[in-house]
Amino acid sequence: MRTVLALACAAVLGAILWSAAPVVWGRSPRAAAIYEPNPDHLWNRLHAKIFVRDDLPDTQRLPDALDPPLWYHTQYLLSNPSHKQAVRILDEFLQTHAENLTGDPLKRAILQRDLWAVFDWAVARHPEHVRDPAYEEERRELRTRLAEVLRRIALSPEELAALPDNYAQAVSSGEFGRNYDPAHRERAFLPPDLFEAQGPWVELEDPGNPEPVAFQHFSDHSARSSFLVFLRLPGGRKAAFDYLQALWSFPGPWVLSPADANHPQVVNPDVPQFPTGTEVALVRQLTLFDNQGRLVNSPITESLQIRVYREIRKSDHPPAGLDGAIAESGQDFYDIELSRPQLFAGKAGGLRALQPGEKDFTKFGAFGPDGGRPGQYLTLDNYSPVLKQCVFCHQGAGIHSLNSRVKLLKPHVLQKDRHSESLGPHWWQDARTLSWKQSHDDWAALTAYWKASGGSH
């Protein structure tokens, strides 16, 4: 699966670099003041060592990036000097029992999230070329220390149960619009009814399949997050299920594509179309583990991506440039993400909307800016703004830009409404995330360290 995704992402990366419009940046925030105001606080230094890379100076502009800037072939934290520096900070953390520097469960949960990502990366990371170093020893040195820090900062089941629903906090903060506003298309919005059990947003499911609908995101983050897909039709909940039924009942949803040897079967261009005004959302929610080593779905929303279809038309000419492709797509794109300092400060549930010109390195996929030789890495100027990148992977009119559409056609199972009586308060949380992770080798590696150290889990 990783290989398939990696190949797909290599193709997309070429496209992402298509436009490199210059962006005016404000003064970057103090690089390391994430957990505490003092940048020299050990938690800040540990965070900065991971997120602000000396060999990739533009990471200074993104000290609060959603994911650590570590990709498939990254050598940072493995080659020196960054490896020795990271080991030194982790040792300092362990020796000084820096887990006691804060009792705030939210801060511990977020540090767990980030260090867990580094641990998994240190399990799965691959050398770029056969002759490149595999850094076996360096990866092991990182993993041993990370596993112990992770063990020490894990929350108790009671602390986990008391973590806040930051999405609800963000909605009630009033910081965000509640609906798509065609008169202010630049304004991101946060639908208050997204998680309403019988509301207009319908969660797309893949019942009977051990893999969730958004499998590429899910596996790319190795189940440390759940990714949930929601669909909203202007006609409401019943209209959405009627549409899903029509889609599923469509005879011959797949057609042969002799032009593409890798995908001999493609979605029939004539499958039923959804109406203008349809919205789709991809919600990312954090997986954590408790101090007994048990995996849990947490209530923390890490990001919400929304696409709104303000126009659906088939085009018979190729779009001119990136802006042409965006206009042609008929969609408006939104991305709301977690900001750590905002979360800790209790501001709008820690969620903030990405601004139109905002840039980030590769957010999703195996290949980052640091392929090739050090010194030749890409800078942020090589990237298009995040909100302009959406169209690279979401082209096509209406339903044809919905990447999850393949899960809505035969031979998949028909999407059916669930009776609200059977739904718990967090009905969308997916136990498959936990069972998938449970059987994955990176989780086995982490739990093996805990067992070997004789720790409590």
- For residues 155 and 108, is the Cβ–Cβ distance under 8 A? yes
Among residues 52, 86, 280, 288, the one that binds ligand HEC under rule CB under 6 A = 280
By CB under 6 A, tell whether 307 contacts ligand HEC.
yes
- For residues 298 and 154, is the Cβ–Cβ distance under 8 A? no
* In the block, residue with structure tokens 């990370």: 146
Is the CB of 69 or the CB of 146 nearer to ligand HEC?
A: 69
By CB under 6 A, tell whether 101 contacts ligand HEC.
no
Among residues 110, 155, 386, 397, the one that binds ligand HEC under rule CB under 6 A = 386
Choose the stretch contacting ligand HEC; rule: CB under 6 A; options: 40-48, 87-95, 136-144, 329-337: 329-337
Choose the stretch contacting ligand HEC; rule: CB under 6 A; options: 80-88, 89-97, 340-348, 388-396: 388-396
Least distance from C-beta 302 to ligand HEC, angstroms? 14
User: Which residues neighbour 20 within 8 Å (Cβ) at sequence distance 6 or greater?
Assistant: 381, 382, 383, 384
Site for ligand HEC in 140-159 (CB under 6 A): none
Instruction: Say how far residue 427 (Cα) sits from the centre of its chain.
Output: 20
Least distance from C-beta 71 to ligand HEC, angstroms? 13
Is the CB of 309 or the CB of 443 nearer to ligand HEC?
A: 309
By CB under 6 A, tell whether 404 contacts ligand HEC.
yes
By CB under 6 A, tell whether 308 contacts ligand HEC.
no
Among residues 78, 89, 214, 223, the one that binds ligand HEC under rule CB under 6 A = 214
- Residues 331-360, one symbol each (x = binds ligand HEC by CB under 6 A, - = not), give --xxx-------------------------
By CB under 6 A, tell whether 216 contacts ligand HEC.
yes
Choose the stretch contacting ligand HEC; rule: CB under 6 A; options: 67-75, 214-222, 421-429, 442-450: 214-222
Least distance from C-beta 228 to ligand HEC, angstroms? 9
Among residues 234, 364, 371, 406, the one that binds ligand HEC under rule CB under 6 A = 364
Q: Tell me the one-letter amino acid at 9.
A: C
Choose the stretch contacting ligand HEC; rule: CB under 6 A; options: 62-70, 81-89, 151-159, 278-286: 278-286
By CB under 6 A, tell whether 118 contacts ligand HEC.
no
Q: Work out the angle between the directed axes of helices 105-124 and 441-453 (0-180°, nearest 10).
A: 110
- For residues 149 and 99, is the Cβ–Cβ distance under 8 A? yes
By CB under 6 A, tell whether 389 contacts ligand HEC.
yes
Structure-token pair, residue 141: 């040195």
Least distance from C-beta 140 to ligand HEC, angstroms? 31
By CB under 6 A, tell whether 215 contacts ligand HEC.
yes
Contact set with ligand HEC (CB under 6 A): 9, 12, 214-217, 227, 229, 280-282, 305-307, 333-335, 364-365, 386-387, 389-390, 392-394, 402-404
